[in-house]
Amino acid sequence: MAELFSPIRKFFARSNDDLVKIMGMAVLVALVSSAAVSVTAVMLRPYQEANRAVERQARIDAMLDTLPGMRDLMMESGVDTLETRLVNLDDGSFASSPDPAGFDLEAALQDPGASIALEPEADIAGIKRRANQSPVYLLQKDGDLKLIVLPVYGAGYQSTVRAALAIEADLVTIAALAIIEQGDTPGFGARIEEPEWLALWPGKKIADDTGSIRIELVRGGASTPYEVDGISGATRTSTRLTNILHFWLGDNGFGPFLTRLRQEGL
């Protein structure tokens, strides 16, 4: 046993200025630290997973709270499942991800491999880059789709407008629109957050029988199922919100996903 530990004693007996001892100690400290980190990670994994589950549920709850009447809609339709999924926007397929609720849009937009630059003529939402993936929220009952919530955003008149568009199971009828973030002119463009105006959206149609996106904000009063009254004095905000919806419901947004849902279901 003494012979076994003899090289170790000799190593530690070296001068502290000895290069071999310095390099050896550096390697030893690195190995011990790595082992400690690995053991700690394994021990904490159950707690980390539990915390992630709580965070995911908190995000879902926060998303529901931004949608006017969404919880009522869930109760009325008897929804028993709310699932967050990542969608590949290019072809509309579901992406494989262990944590879709943790998708980081800003990080994706900074990564050339996770996003694309939009040509000016295609960028009607004014976002410049579009991530390759996006979360969607599926509300189901007994495995049947009841509502789908799409996150949409783009350039408003003076700020970025972020919203959530809830669509019924026919994938054409709007169930609700919620404005999550905006910074347009108070009293004018900012009125897109007013409950009275948001109440105009349920029941409107996003597309006609040919699949053409028709939803728009209009001046002078809506007269078709595809029209919503624009906000008086906020023409630019109304126009840009129309553009945001057309972009995200079109071929560069969730259009391929909605088409795949119509053809294949969930």
**Does residue 32 sit in the same domain as residue 106?**
no
**Does residue 83 sit in the same domain as residue 195?**
yes
Residue 112 resides in a domain: yes
Backbone phi, psi, residue 141, to 5°? -135, 120
CA 196 → CA 160, 163, 178, 202, distances in Å?
22, 16, 12, 12
Angle at CA of residue 154, ends 258 and 212, nearest 5°? 35
What's the pLDDT score for residue 59? Answer: 54
**Does residue 234 sit in the same domain as residue 122?**
yes
Residue 18 resides in a domain: yes
Residue 61 resides in a domain: no
**Does residue 190 sit in the same domain as residue 218?**
yes
Q: Among residues 70, 203, 201, which one has the least CA distance to residue 137?
A: 70
Residue 109 resides in a domain: yes
**Does residue 98 sit in the same domain as residue 7?**
no
**Does residue 25 sit in the same domain as residue 82?**
no
- Token look-up 């997973």 returns 49
What's the pLDDT score for residue 67? Answer: 55
**Does residue 52 sit in the same domain as residue 73?**
no
Residue 63 resides in a domain: no
**Does residue 128 sit in the same domain as residue 168?**
yes
Q: Please, what's the b/e burial string for 89-127 (b: 16 or more CB within 10 A of its CB; e: otherwise)?
A: beebebeeeeebbebebeebbeeeebbeebeeeebbbbb
**Does residue 106 sit in the same domain as residue 221?**
yes
The number of domains in the chain is 2
Residue 196 resides in a domain: yes
**Does residue 183 sit in the same domain as residue 239?**
yes
**Does residue 253 sit in the same domain as residue 126?**
yes
Q: How many CB atoms lie within 10 A of CB 164?
A: 20
Question: Is the Cα torsion angle 189, 190, 194, 199 positive or negative in sign?
Answer: positive
What's the pLDDT score for residue 122? Answer: 96
Residue 19 resides in a domain: yes
Residue 211 resides in a domain: yes
Tens place of pLDDT per residue across the chain (266 aa): 555 556 767 766 777 777 877 787 788 788 887 777 777 767 767 776 677 656 655 655 665 665 555 666 666 666 667 788 999 999 999 998 766 767 889 999 999 999 999 999 999 999 999 999 999 988 887 778 888 999 999 987 777 888 889 999 999 999 988 888 776 555 444 577 788 888 899 999 999 999 899 999 998 888 999 999 888 777 888 888 999 999 999 999 999 999 999 998 76
**Does residue 180 sit in the same domain as residue 73?**
yes
Q: Does the predicted TM-score (pTM) go above 0.75?
A: no
Angle at CA of residue 220, ends 216 and 226, nearest 5°? 25
CB 200 within 8 A of CB 228: yes
CA distance 110 to 118: 14
Identify the domain containing residue 19 by its residue range.
2-56
